[in-house]
Amino acid sequence: MPTETQKARVEQLKKQAQAFEEDWKNPMRKPYLEKVVLNIGAGTGGEELERATQVLEDITNQKAVRTIATKSVKEWGIRQGVAIGTMVTIRGDRAEKLLKRLLIVYNNRVLRRSFDDRGNFSFGIDEHISIPGIDYDNTIGIWGLNISCRIVRKGMRVRERRKKRTRIAKSHYVSRDEAQYFMRKFFKAKLVDRLEMEYI
């Protein structure tokens, strides 16, 4: 039997959903998945970085770019200006398809604490070969990667455009609760407090 606290939580979620659906009737208020960014920090250049780049390109079928160290860290052997990582950004319908594929790794579960108050959320995958459609290659090895996603509304471009750039009101950003509802509705995501890989 559900407890009183659980019943209250369910009722609260229903009211939230109704409020969001009402708000989304305005096309300028309806959020969408703007982009999915995959990143691997190889920590070094050379062959290691080449293999990490190949992993991202195999997953996304899109050319990856190198990320550059912004400062030197002597203890880690990192010099400023040297390529130490690789990343790729996916947008549009391809981003939605890729995110659905990546969520399968954790059986569509996402940590509640992964979301911020600006419509962003992130999660990591320890072994890239756990992604559907990716096979193990002993010349590449096994890599972990980080996935960052951004949910926004229309009109956010005014904050980043070159001409007549302006600020965005806080109310136009997608809140944590709204982003979580968005993921539940459109990606069938299950929000959990602890995330572990399920082996079937």
**CATH code assigned at 161:** 3.30.1440.10
Write down the pTM of the prediction.
0.88
Residue at 91 is within a domain: yes
- Would you state the structure tokens that stand for residue 191, as one six-digit string? 């929000």
Residue scoring higher pLDDT (161 or 184): 184
Residue at 170 is within a domain: yes
As to burial, measured by CB atoms within 10 angstroms (0-12 exposed, 13-18 middle, 19+ buried), residue 81 is exposed
Residue at 181 is within a domain: yes
Residue at 193 is within a domain: no
Domain span at residue 87 reads 22-188
What does the pLDDT look like over 85-101, one tens digit per residue?
Answer: 899 999 999 999 999 99
Contacts of 187 (CB under 8 A, 6+ apart): 99, 100, 103, 108
What does the pLDDT look like over 19-67, one tens digit per residue?
Answer: 999 999 999 999 999 999 999 988 777 888 999 999 999 999 999 999 8
Please provide the average confidence, as pLDDT, over all residues in the chain: 90
Residue at 200 is within a domain: no
Q: In total, how many domains does the chain have?
A: 1
Residue at 36 is within a domain: yes
Banded pLDDT at 83 (limits 50, 70, 90): confident
pLDDT given at position 27? 94
